[in-house]
Amino acid sequence: MEQKYALLNQGEDNEMDVTGYRTERWRQILCIIGYIFSLGFLPLLFYWKPEISVWCKCTPCSLDKADVILFRTTDEYKQYFKKKVSVIYPSLQGAKPDQVIADQNSIISKCLMKSKGKIRCVKVQKIHCVWDASESQFRKIGILDEGLSCSDIHTKYGSGLSNEEQSLRKQMCGLNKIEVKIIPIWKLLFKEIFNPFYVFQAYSLSIWIATNYLEYSMAILLMTAMSIIATVYNLRVQSIKLHKMAESYNSIMVTMLQKNGEIKEVESQSLVPGDVIVLSENKLFLPCDAILISGGCTVNEGMLTGESIPVTKTPLPNIDNSVPWKIHCGDDYKKHVLFCGTQLIQTKPHGKDLVKAVVLQTGFNTAKGDLVRAILYNKPISVKLHKQALRFLVVLVFIALAAATYTAVVYSINGASVHDTVLMTLLMITAAVNAALPAALTLGLLYAQTRLKKKGIFCISPQRINMAGQLNLVCFDKTGTLTEDALDLYGLLPCEGSCFQKMHQFSSGNTLHWGHLLGAMASCHSLIILEGKIHGDPLELKMFEGTNWELEGYIPCSQKDGTSASCTMVKPGLKANKVPVEGISILHQFPFSSTVQRMSVITQAIGLPGLTLYLKGAPEAVVRYCKPETVPHDFSERLDFYTTQGFRVIGLAYRSIDIDFQELEHLQREDMECDLTFLGFLIMENRLKPETSAVLQELTTANIRTVMVTGDNLQTALTVGKNCGIIPTDGQIILIEATESTEGVPPSITWRPLCEMQASRVQTKKIHIDRRGDQLFYPTTCGNFHFAMNGKSYQVIVQHFYDLLPKILLNGTIFARMTPRQKSNLIEELQKIDFYVGMCGDGANDCGALKVAHAGISLSELEASVASPFTSKIPNIECVPMLIKEGRNALVTSFAMFKFMTMFILIGLFCIVLLFWRQKLLGNYQYLMQDLAINITFALTLGLNGPAPKLAPYRPSGHLLSPPLLLSVFLHFIFTAMAQTTIFVLLLQQPWYSETDVFSACLPLNHTTANVTTREPRFAENFLTATMFPVTGFNLITIGFVFSKGKPFRQPLYTNYWLLLLVIFQVASYLFLLFADFEVVYYAMELVCTPYAWRVHIFITMLVHFVVSYAVEEGFIENRMLWLKIKKIFNYKSKSQYRKLQRMLENCPNWPPLNKTDYATKSVSTMNGRFMICNETVHQIPMVDIKEQITEQIYL
């Protein structure tokens, strides 16, 4: 059966549907004819909607015969893009391509065997994909096959590739480079110009020029050009920055090992997956992802993690099994991988062997390539707002079409020429969208971006600023974000004879005496010497400084067989106590991993026999590998005592081992880390940043929920959460532990209140509405209780208790021991229940979460946080409320601009409708004054208001079609229609009104026409235009002033000096034109004189209109209390998922569960973001059993 559809990148963030199409010549010819008859609109439509282009030009076919592929993202955005299929004919001199591939199971080999020397490929988002006929799907190329086992990598690729295979792979995979071309200015310009808004603007300008309305046309053209130039400039600067970032170290010289044993220097661009590179001591920025297969090395992964500390890499073990190497290594596979863009700092050969690595991925498949692609192909934002804006504009288009129809009918009835009728009808359509709207919205965001930049917050995606104004939940990393980066040594709690001894205080200046505790602190770390300074993890730096020992770099260590190996040496410093050894050699290291939560080293004390293994890590992880008889009976109590005070506690242990040096490189971690002797606790103090508590209090007061998402210990996170205010003093904590199924017992979830709280205190779930000043405070949680869990429990809940996850997230406050992937998943799950989520982290392991959040703000400026929408130079979380304030300001400004531009169109449209009734129209200079003096000035200055100094306890509306906004536009239009209609009707009833004699209304009653100089009135010189011009002018000024609101999200209008001065100038100008009797002014503005009493009448009418408009906007539209009462009367309930959960749980007597364990009878999955609920067996177990089950969980 022919396969027309497939899935690409299944399970990944960029998962896409793939559909095959074949181009039809006759369809292409029809489309060309359509281009001509549509006057160029059809190709524009194809440009905006590539899927329509494919559907019109091609017919569906099987993927193996397709010459065009249509991709569609499977996320909520459903983006389409098309790609042409290209064909590669790999060729080699003297050999068939399929005969030179060493691994016959590789993707390349399969493609060559089935394709008869022809490879079909497509390039999608910079990634090369080839057609695999054996599996009937496109597969990524440029990567080493994921199914390879550890032994496969060593045996098939450990010796390098032959010249022939290397050449073949290069032809198929392409060059190893991350190339981002600087987008030419003309391309950026055309992309911006072909935006639908600007296309409509071009149509409007052409009509205005045809009606000889040149001045305003030129002004709009100039303003639009400035807006486009500013946008193109920013895009160009970003393109250059991205090009430089991607190009760095794109072409460097590397040492490559070939299959024949030859070692040669080659350009990094020629590397292909499967090549073997030899690593040397020089500082090298890695040009590809590679698997370390021999030797050890230290790298700086700041580009990836945002944390510029050395990371130790170990070789992939050569284990003979058929399990894929990533599955075998589990979550720790990264400790064997050298990532592209990271810096090689040091290498450590084992004996005489070379330090070698097998190229794993090249080009855009690498870690750095993923980072660049995330920036190039970032997901669109504000989809709901965009859709609402389109709906709003569609309504305006229909209004304009109705007005155009009215114009055509009126002009036809009055016998106007066809030319005038068509021209005026087309002119009426231009009123659908205010020509200044796109530029005005862009300017508003640019102003906000500039204000943020002055505060030290940099933004690469200005559209995200509006999203920041909607945040009602912010997730924070702990270390380096809420707390200081550096830890301070507090003390050492030694253990001897299974009993804790007296605390050793470092603050007293006492130095440690010789013993295993000193040995562990001096050697159990991954510190290195770089340019004469010690570099490494801040925790390990503090620990090592406490010993007063000194670190030396890699030095030769003689072995028993006479050979030598390099190792790190530590020696006593001048301030250290005398010890019976010259120093300690660190012979082998098992690096720290967040999965196993420990690290260990094998050492030799110089001058003493035997080897010693030292281990440090999370106390609950360390104690598992210790002999039970060496662990104090009050281990948990002591650990709880220190962690509840917010201290960081590290467990230490050791064992003596007797092995040969030759066996070191072949040791398994599990064989060495066992039967240890527990040494005690190293206690470190992690202090809150001075600004943390005040900022969190500010957010809480503003009804913005705060959540901690950290990789640290749960108990430490709880303590920090209480100290900084994330958990209020009267808040109750419920610990959640979820475990996988074991020995026939299904997965379970246990709920336990911390500190033996009474259930009656926890189950207070009524949603209270507090008054804070004159505002209402609506909490976003259900009750005053807080769930806390670790990453393992979170993962089990996602897999087996997904129906409970939304309920848990509603009150989930502390998430500890979370991996980077779990952090990202947590934010996505919060977004599914309609929270607008912000994320603030220091870049270390937070990159994924920063990208998926509605507004991610990084406190790190390293490359890792380039993909974050916001980067702050402020090294603390003060940047978060700053961003939210500016976001609210920008969002309110955008909506105010939208309302003003809409009312500007409606006011002008209604005026034209009235004037067209008598076939009249305002003069060009009259329109010019409205458009330039009012429309353009408000567009330029409305966004100059700064944000309010204080966060309001509620958010601005994020819905463009919200009832208050629509009602505001509707009521102001009614007031406009009433004012204009009243003036229009009264004018027609005035005794002096005449359509022919327009120059005698101001003359005395006894005047004679002989004394009057007469001339033929121009088109706009009549009483109707002379009256409607000031009426619409004052109307527009009123609307602009009314919509320029300040509090509670923006600073008051009087702080916007430019706008205030311009409003005063506008009012003064219109008053002058209304009451000044200067013939020169009348002639220049195409006005005629009207009786003074009539002008006073106009002024009074517009003054009443101003008072009514302002009173209605401030007293009704912006009256939050009134709207809440209206919602209550009509029983309106929020449709947000988290609000629905609140209402549901408020009436649930069994929530939250306390002192019970629930068991899952089957796993729960998700589909399209909806909840799939499984049947659960709920079983109450005794409190004593719960205590036993939770003892370990509290410290994980």
Q: Which residues are catalytic?
A: 477
CA distance 684 to 484: 12
- Bridge partners, 626 (sequence order): 676
Strands, E, within 517-610: which ranges?
528-530, 533-535, 549-558, 564-572, 584-593, 598-605
Q: What is the DSSP letter of 382?
A: -
Report residue 658 as tokens: 């007797």
Residues 334, 290: Cα–Cα separation, whole Å: 10
Q: Please, which residues have CB within 8 angstroms of residue 608's CB and are 6 or more apart in sequence?
A: 580, 581
Decide: 768 and 779 in contact? Cβ < 8 Å. yes
- Of 374, 378, 459, the closest CA to residue 178 belongs to 374
Contacts of 562 (CB under 8 A, 6+ apart): none
Q: 325 near 157, Cβ under 8 Å? A: no
Q: Which residues are CB-contacts of 599 (< 8 A; sequence separation ≥ 6)? A: 524, 526, 589, 590, 591, 592, 593, 615, 616, 617
In Å, the largest CA–CA distance within the chain is 131
Contact in structure between 941 and 1062 (CB atoms under 8 Å): yes
Q: Give which of 88, 136, 145 is closest to 112, Cα–Cα.
A: 88
CA atoms lying within 13 Å on the CB side of residue 367: 24
Please state, in angstroms and as integers, the Cα–Cα distance from residue 1132 to each residue in 769, 780, 966, 1127, following that order.
16, 17, 17, 5
Exposed/middle/buried for residue 585 (C-beta within 10 Å: 0-12, 13-18, 19+): buried
Query: How far is Cα of residue 788 from the mean position of the Cα atoms in its chain?
Result: 25
**Closest by Cα among 658, 649, 671, 655 to 516:** 655
Tokens of 463: 């559209």
Question: Length of the chain, please?
Answer: 1196
Q: How far apart are CA 1090 and CA 1075, in angstroms?
A: 10
Q: What is the DSSP string of 104-142?
A: TTSHHHHHHHHHTT-EEEEEETTEEEEEETTTTEEEE-S
CB 61 within 8 A of CB 24: no
Q: Report whether 661 contacts 560 (CB < 8 A).
A: yes
What is the rounded distance in angstroms from the CA atom of residue 750 to the CA atom of residue 734? Answer: 10
Residues 1131, 1137, 1142, 1148, Cα dihedral to 10°: 100
